[in-house]
Amino acid sequence: MSPTRSCGILLHPTSLPGRFGIGEMGPEAYHFLDFLAESKQRAWQVLPLGPTGYGDSPYQSFSAFAGNPLLISLERLVADGLLRPADVRETPSFPEHRVNYGSVIQFKTAMLTRSFERFRAGVRPHLQDDFDAFARDSSAWLEDFALFMALKEAHGGAVWNTWEPDIAGRQPQAVGRWQRDLSDSCYRHKYYQYLFSKQWSALKGAANERGINLIGDTPIFVAHDSSDVWAHPEFYHLSAQGEPTAVAGVPPDYYSDTGQLWGNPIYRWDVMKESGYGWWIDRVKATLAAVDIVRLDHFRGFEAYWEVPAGEKTAVRGRWVKGPGADLFHALRHGFSVHNLPLIAEDLGVITPEVTALRDQFELPGMKVLQFSFSGGVARMEPPYQYPRNCVVYTGTHDNDTAWGWFRYSASAEEREMALKYMGTDGREFNWDLIRLALSSVADVAVVPLQDVLGLDSESRMNYPGRATGNWTWRFLPGAITVEMKRRLADMAEVYGRCRGQEVGSGR
C-alpha cells in the first residue's frame, strides 16, 4: 500500500451512466476519472471484472483471468473502425438507473459479434499483430477460456460437467476435435478478451496519469461453472461426475440468520501447495496487470474457511477447516520478489486472533466499515478512534446498505443515537457526516461508495448478501455528480491530508 494518506471512491464500472444499458469503458468512464481528479481522490475501487453468469454476480465468474465483454465500449469500437456509426445510432430503450442484464446481453452480444466479423474481414489489419501478441501472451489461460465459452454456447449454456463425458473430462482427442469444430467461436471469444484488455489498459493508463490508483478485487473462491474448474479439476474437491463434494460459504452472520451458501467448490490446498501455488501466483499477477492494488475478498478463508457438505440448503451445517495460511503468502512474496504485497485483506466477519496474526505477519491493511462501528451483535467493530493506521476505512461496502439507507431503515434507534453522538451531528446530512468521519480518521486509506456521495437511500444498494437475484444492477444517472459534491470532497481531502503528495502525519 501507499505510504501516503489517500482517499477514493467505490464504484463498479457497470454502474456508470451511458446509453447502452450498462456502464462501459468509454467516455463516461473517462469523465468519472476527471471527477476523481477534480475531487482530489487518489483511488477508484471496483469489484471483480470477470465475465458473469447466472445471477450477474461479479463474484461468480466464468474465469478468474478473463474480463467481462459487457464492459467493452461500443463508442470506442466505432472510433477504432470496428463498428460503423450507423451500428449504434438506434439502440433499445434501456432503463437509465438499472442494468437489465437480459436485454443488455442480447444487444451487446450482437454488436460485439458484428465487430468481430469486421475484424476478421480485415477492416483494421494493423490490429491483427496486436491481437496475435495478446493471444500469445495470454495463452496460459486464454486457450482454455475461449474453448470453455465456445463449448458452453454449443451446449446451450449447460454446466460443464453435464457435457459429453469425454470433453467434460478433457480427453485430449475430444479437446482437439472440439477445438477444430468450434474454431470460429474460440477465435471470437479471444477477440472479445483482446478488446477488453485493450480498452481496460487504456483506462488504467489514463487513471494513473491523473495520479489515481485502481483498486481491484479478487474473490477467494471461483465458480464451479468456470473455465478454471473445468481446466484444472485436480485443484478442487469434486466427485467423479465433476460435482463439488463440499462448497464454500459463511455461517450465520450480520447479513443472514442461515449464513451465506455461496456454492463454490473447495480448493485442494494440498495439491496447490505441491505445485508451489503457481495458479494463485498467476492469478494475482494477472489481476495486478489490470489494477494497482488488490483487495483479497474473504481473507479470513485463507486461515480457515467454512465448509458446507454438498446438498445442504443453507450454510448452517458446516465446519471450519484450516486454509493454506502463511504458506500461500510466502509463495506470493517469492513469486513477486517483493516483501510488501500490494494487497488489502478483507477481514470482515468472524475474525479470530489467528486471522489477525496472518494479516499482520504480512503487513496487510485490513478493512474497517463505519456502519459496523455503531452496530451491535457479531458485526460490531471497534470505534474509529481505535483504528490502526494500516487499514482502509469505508463508510460502507457493496454488501452494505447505503449510509442513508442504514440510518433511515437498517439501524436501530440505539445505533442511530450512538452514531449521532459520536459525530456530534443532528443527522440532517448523515451521508456527509459519515464521509467526513472516514476521511478524518487515522486510517491510511478512506474509500466511499459513490451512493454515499450522492446521498442515495436503500433503493440504490448494490448487493443484498444471501439474495440470489436482483443484485448488481444499480447505475447512477447522468449529471448526478454536482460541482458542489466535487468541492466538498476536494475540501475534505485537503483538510484531512489525503491529497497527492501529502505524507502520512504531515497534515496539510
Cα–Cα nearest to 357, from 305, 318, 293, 299? 299
Spatial strand order of the sheet with 343-345 comes to 343-345, 293-296, 213-218, 43-45, 6-10, 445-449, 391-394, 366-369
Phi (first) and psi of residue 158, to 5 degrees: -65, 150
- Kind and range of the H or E run holding 132: helix 126-137
**Count of other CB atoms within 10 angstroms of residue 170:** 16
Taking the CA atoms of residue 101, residue 54, residue 185 and residue 242 in that order, the dihedral angle to the nearest 10 degrees is 180
Kindly give the interhelix angle for 278-290 and 139-154, rounded to the nearest 10 degrees: 90
The whole-angstrom separation of Cα 395 and Cα 369 is 6
Query: What are the residue numbers of the active site?
Result: 297, 346, 399
What was the pLDDT predicted at 179? 98
Phi (first) and psi of residue 98, to 5 degrees: -140, 155
The whole-angstrom separation of Cα 233 and Cα 246 is 14
Beta pairing class for 319-322 and 366-369: unpaired
C-alpha dist (Å) from residue 374 to 80, 379, 447: 51, 9, 18
What was the pLDDT predicted at 404? 98
Ramachandran region of residue 21, left (φ > 0), alpha (ψ -120 to 50) or beta? left
- Domain ranges across the chain: 232-364
Q: Which residue intervals of 233-309 are DSSP H helices?
A: 269-274, 278-290, 300-303
Looking at residue 426, what DSSP letter applies?
-
**Partners of residue 446 on adjacent β-strands:** 7, 393
User: CB under 8 Å to 52, separation ≥6 — which residues?
Assistant: 58, 60, 61, 62, 68, 70, 472
Looking at residue 190, what DSSP letter applies?
H
What was the pLDDT predicted at 467? 83
What was the pLDDT predicted at 350? 78
What was the pLDDT predicted at 378? 59
Q: Which residue intervals of 261-407 are DSSP H helices?
A: 269-274, 278-290, 300-303, 326-336, 353-361, 370-373, 403-405
Say if residues 82 and 74 touch (Cβ distance below 8 Å): no
What was the pLDDT predicted at 504? 39
C-alpha dist (Å) from residue 306 to 130, 251, 321: 44, 7, 6
What SS3 class is residue 83?
A: coil
Which segments in the chain show pLDDT lower than 50?
Answer: 502-508
